[in-house]
Homo-oligomer: A and B are copies of this chain.
Amino acid sequence: MTTAERRTQAQRREGTIGALLDATVTCLATRGYAATSTAAVCAEAGVSQGALFRHFPTRQALLVATADHVATRQVEAFRSLGSPGVDSADEVAAVLGHLRGLVLSPVNQTWRELLVAARADDSLRAALHPARESLQAQMLGAAADLWGDRLPADDLAAVLSIVVNMLDGLAFSALDPDPTAAPGRTVERALRLLAEMIVRHYPSQEHR
């Protein structure tokens, strides 16, 4: 640690803010909303509480900033799926499996934790509202880019709603602390069945 001791103020600022946001993500994902106290976040980030309250006027401001932070990362992860085929049930099932991985990721866990907390907190709900709308629109846009040529727009939104809501529901039901635990027989069967139902309802043009 002999070099690069000198940083500009903007660099210092960005560094600690980034550390605080990342620490908030890991605290929310591992300890949950209630246990994500300012002290816990500061300990995780390796800074003092004074530093936190210099950059964020209140705990809620930190949480809202974290929500915006993870929202952008969510669309990135979704788009980084590439453009997988959805012609056969196997391919759709593979896509569902990948989506399940995304939904179970810490980033998405953070997002869910904030949404749940927002239900009982009016001002947090209001503060999270724009990010929520933006995220939904961007996810729908990404889905349209990937598969918009196969489904009418209304149906695409409906299928997306079915899939992500089911995966979110699964994430809430999966209380195992180990995120890579065996998905369970019925869960695998349910995903497989959903894939089959989708391809049967929207057969690809080649097979017609």
Residues of A near any B CB (own CB < 8 A): 30-35, 112, 115-121, 125, 154-155, 157-159, 161-162, 164-170, 172-173, 175, 186-187, 189-190, 192-194, 196-198, 200-201
* Contact flag A118-B175 (CB < 8 Å), given A162-B190, A169-B167, A196-B201: yes
Residue of B nearest to A165 (CB): B169
Residue of B nearest to A161 (CB): B190
* Contact flag A173-B115 (CB < 8 Å), given A161-B186, A165-B166: yes
Count identical subunits in the complex.
2
Task: Check B186 against A158 for contact (C-beta < 8 Å).
Answer: yes
Task: Check A112 against B34 for contact (C-beta < 8 Å).
Answer: no
Residue of B nearest to A159 (CB): B193
